[in-house]
Amino acid sequence: MTSRPRYRGLRRTSNREALMLAAEELLGGRAASAVSVDEIVDRAGVAKGTFYNHFSSKEDLGWQLAQAIRLEVRDRIADRKVVSSDPAVHLAIAVILFLDLARRRPNRARILSILLSQVSDADAEPNSRVRQTLDAGRSVGRFRFGSIDAAMIAVIGIVSAGIQSLVDHEVPDAGERIASLAAHALASLGLSREDADDVVGHPLLAGLVQD
């Protein structure tokens, strides 16, 4: 028995948008290997040929969806960064907002974690903003680390592990866990734990975790 199409009938929803919405629901709840193109198009309410007008494969759809989610989070980060010129604050905002996605939108966070796990190269386009923040922090002596690649792997590893923990387990103190992980990311870049806790404890950043 096929599932009832949920998305194509929505007003002004394009075929591509319908496929993205269906993929978000399906890929966010199960392993990609357990989801077929047939299931995605059935849920989206479009023909299978339409799928291949927009995406070359299921993996291509998953990648583009993860990129779209990343860009949405990046825009939220950019809106918050104007409050401070401190690279440590910028990095903490990014970590907190990526982790907060796992608390608020677990399906989207699961999909995003696929992108994070596949792209740890500091020169990769998805990591350009993080690299800029790391470079800025090192240039002013705020961060101390050996190589940019090692720093990138450390930060992405903390975020990826945090997302998995938050989406796979019920965490009653999720806000505290997110704050602790953000401080841990800063400490991995050379800040003292006290300094890292002070950055994360800034009223604005504390508000990000609590709101």
DSSP 139-207: HTTS---S-HHHHHHHHHHHHHHHHHHHHHS--TTHHHHHHHHHHHHHHTTT--HHHHHHHHTSHHHHH
Q: Are residues 113 and 199 in the same domain?
A: yes
Residues 46 and 69 in one domain: no
Does 40 lie in the same domain as 105? Answer: no
CATH number at residue 155: 1.10.357.10
Same domain, 121 and 68: yes
* Block residue for tokens 């993929």: 23
Q: What is residue 90's DSSP assignment?
A: H
33 and 103 belong to one structural domain = no
Query: In this structure, is residue 7 part of a structural domain?
Result: no
Per the structure, the complete domain to which residue 122 belongs is given by 62-210
Q: Look at residue 93 and tell me whether its pLDDT is greater than 70.
A: yes
Give the predicted TM-score (pTM) of the model: 0.80
Higher pLDDT, 62 or 6: 62
Q: For the chain, what is the domain count?
A: 2
Rg of the chain, C-alpha, whole Å: 19
Instruction: Indicate whether 22 and 74 sit together in one domain.
Output: no
Domain CATH code at residue 30: 1.10.10
Tell whether 196 and 177 lie within a shared domain.
yes
Q: pLDDT value at position 2?
A: 47
Assess whether 67 and 83 both reside in one domain: yes
pLDDT in tens, 110-157: 888 776 666 555 566 667 888 899 999 999 999 999 899 899 889 988
Is 3 domain-assigned?
no
Please indicate, yes or no, if residue 4 is contained in any of the structural domains: no
Task: Convert the pLDDT of each residue in 33-66 to its tens digit.
Answer: 888 999 999 999 999 999 999 999 988 998 888 8
**Is 106 within a domain?**
yes
- Report in angstroms the alpha-carbon separations of 60 from 29, 135, 166, 201: 18, 31, 26, 39
Nearest of 134, 78, 191 to residue 200 by alpha carbon: 191
Does residue 132 sit in the same domain as residue 189? Answer: yes
Quick check: is 175 in a domain? yes
